[in-house]
Each structure stands twice: as structure tokens, then as C-alpha cells.
Structure 1
Amino acid sequence: MSTERTVQSITPAVVHRLVQEGRAPRLLDVRTPGEFRTVHIPGSYNVPLNTLREHRAELRSHLDEEVVLVCRSGQRAREAEQALAQAGLPNLRVLEGGMNAWEAAGAVVERGPERWDMERQVRLVAGSIVLVTGLAGILVPGVHLVGTAVGAGLTYAALSNSCAMGVLLSKLPYNRGPRTDIRTVIAELRSAS
């Protein structure tokens, strides 16, 4: 018998309709501040996944209505849903397909300075490592094994739906953007009630 919870999702079309009707749920975007600044749903609040996990008890008392969690594709939003559900917060849903699906549906977004998304950065770094170590392996025996290790890491990332390289890249200043202050987020949540 499995004790795993079923994550409730909601489509971009339904959220878009609720927003247009003035019945928008609270939209918590759990991506990094850098990702959020690049593109986000108007009226959403940026609470990066790590911040949300750390301050879920504080957030719980300010999220008494329906909450929709948003990330790029849905994975981080599902993790955020689990964290908030463990804190006892009901009425949680995950935006099906995340920002990718929201934009594909042609829904309104706010855009900031353009930056490469994490997946593209991972492809660049992984591909560069494989290319350089493959070429260097012609002159230095064994160097090509570094590329093999990167390939193994990418395979594991796909199978486990996690990405160590993405986590490391998210720590770079380019990806962090301005730090999210939980007090500011809570004040915004209060004022919007």
C-alpha cells in the first residue's frame, strides 16, 4: 500500500479564466529570483523552493485560500506542494506544465531581462565538458572518461528527475538574481488579502 499523495494539478486555461474573472488563486512561483525576473505570471509571488521549504510554517498562516504553485515545468512546484502539504496547508494545486505550458497557451506574462534558462545552461556546460574532454582525450589518454562521467550524471538526472549540475549552476550570481526576503513576501501576501 502506497502512502504517496496524489498531487492535484490545474491547467493554464483554467487559471487564466479564473484570473480574467477576478477569482485568481494565490500564485506562488517557486523558481529562482533570476528565472522569475525573466518571465512570470502577473500577480504571482516569487518564493523560491528553498525559501518556501525553510519558511513553510510562516507562509501557511498567510495562505488560507486556494494556492497554485508554479515553476518552469512542474517538478519544483510538485516538491513545493509536498512541503506545504506537510505543513498542513490544504487547497494546493500545481500549474500543469508550469511556465512552459502557460506561455505555450498564449497567456499574459511579465518579462524582464532575457537570460538563459537552466536547462539550456546545463546543455551548454555538459556539452562543452564532453567536447573538450573528447578532444583532449586524443592527446591525453583517459581524459575522455570525464565526459563519460558527465554522461552518466545526465542519465541519472533523467531517471531520478533531479539535476546536480542544475543545482550547482543555480548558485551562480547570474542565476540567483536578487535574494528573496520572506518578510517582504509575507507583507505582500497580507496586503493582497
Structure 2
Amino acid sequence: MTTTANATAFTPAALQHLIGNGTAPRLLDVRTPGEFQTSHIPGAYNVPLDTLREHRGELRRHLDEDVVLICRSGARASQAEQALAEVGLPNLRVLDGGMMAWEASGAPVNRGPERWELERQVRLIAGSVVLVSGVVGFFVPGVHLIGTAIGAGLTFAAVSNTCAMGMMLSKLPYNRGPRTDIRTVVASLRDRS
């Protein structure tokens, strides 16, 4: 366990140690199915954040042991931790640094087809809108305010630790990947008990 501001964070090294000892906790990856399909920790279950929030009561009944929540960097996993804590699930941890830290540590990863991560897609869309509105703003008065609105949205996203653009982009077919069936996830959790 780390001594960072998030007392429930779990380092990749600590998780690797538990997996190596055969005492691995349940691993819930809350990224989109597309992100999960690209790369994930072996043995992890994909329960996208929206699905987790919607079915957290049902998941609660099947998660009676330690749980480590995983996302790209830790932000969505922290939101998942809060949602599961609200239904009384104890023993929650967040993988400190998410998949980025896991991969950087050289830990094993199951890989699928490459996709751009949501954060990279947000940077592309936001940057393109700001660039285009800035250029067009030289010729059409007021268009530059679109870029200002995008900047305000990004600032709000940072302060609130949410991202409306990212949530919208996650709904695109490119990002959805195979649909997560909560019944299959629950059955897998039940079978492992």
C-alpha cells in the first residue's frame, strides 16, 4: 500500500506480489470495453464505470473479498471506489497510477488490437476545435469563443475530475468494443467464489 493522498491506493509492485503469491484480489477494470480489449491485467474483469454505477448493488453481493479497481491512470477507478463504497463494499483499493503504472513496471499484460486511449482522443478533439476556431476567428468575429468554451470545459473537467467530452467519446462504436454483459460478469464472479 502506498502512503499517497489516497490511502486506498495499491502499487503495481504490491499487486504483482499478491498475484505471485496466489492471493490475488478481485481485479475490476472500469475502462471502456475498447480500452480493456487493447490491454488489461490477466484475470481482470471488465466492468465499465457506467455499468458499475448502474449495477453496483448487484456487484456488491458478489464481491465479498478484496477488490482492486483499475483504469488508465486512477481517476475513473477512484470514482468506482466511491460508488462501491456507497453500497457498503469494504476492502476496496485503487491501482496507483492505473494501467499506465502497471505497464511501466513491466508487469504482465494481455494485449489486443491497438486503439487510441480516451485521453488522447479528448486532446485531439479539444485541440482541433481550439485550433480551427482560433484560425477561423481571424476571419469570422466571435468564433474564437468556441475555443474559450472548450478551455472552460477542460478546466471544469480537471477541477471536478470528470470529463464530459471523454464520456461522450466513450459512447462511440470505436471505443465501445464488445459490450459488457453484467450477467456474464456476475456469473464469473460467482464461479470464482
Shorter-chain TM range is over 0.9
Q: Distance in 2 between matches of 1:39 and 1:86?
A: 29
- Give the CA deviation at 1:7: 5.1
Partner of 1:50: 50
Partner of 1:183: 183
With the length of structure 1 as denominator, give the TM-score of the two structures. Answer: 0.94
Q: Is 1:139 aligned to residue 151 of structure 2? A: no
Q: Distance in 1 between matches of 2:138 and 2:163?
A: 29
The aligned runs of 1:73-88 (5 Å cut-off) are 73-88=73-88
Report Cα offsets for 1:138-161 as digits up to 9, x if no partner: 221111111111112112222222
Q: Distance in 2 between matches of 1:36 and 1:15?
A: 18
Partner of 1:9: 9
Partner of 2:107: 107
With the length of structure 2 as denominator, give the TM-score of the two structures. Answer: 0.94
Q: Distance in 1 between matches of 2:27 and 2:101?
A: 15
Report Cα offsets for 1:105-124 as digits up to 9, x if no partner: 11000011100001110111
Partners of 1:170 and 1:176 within 8 A in 2? yes
Partners of 1:77 and 1:94 within 8 A in 2? yes
AA at the equivalent of 2:131: L
The alignment of Structure 1 onto Structure 2 pairs a total of residues equal to 188
Partner of 1:60: 60
The aligned runs of 1:13-52 (5 Å cut-off) are 13-52=13-52
Q: Distance in 2 between matches of 1:7 and 1:50?
A: 24
The aligned runs of 1:161-180 (5 Å cut-off) are 161-180=161-180
Q: Distance in 1 between matches of 2:15 and 2:94?
A: 11
Report Cα offsets for 1:38-96 as digits up to 9, x if no partner: 11000000011111111111111211111111111111111111111111111111111
Partner of 2:153: 153
Percent of matched pairs sharing the same residue: 73
Partner of 1:94: 94
Structure 1 residue ranges without an equivalent (≥5): 1-5
Partner of 1:3: none
Q: Distance in 2 between matches of 1:159 and 1:56?
A: 25
CA RMSD of aligned residues (A): 1.1
Q: Distance in 2 between matches of 1:161 and 1:88?
A: 23
What's the secondary structure of 1:53's corresponding residue?
helix
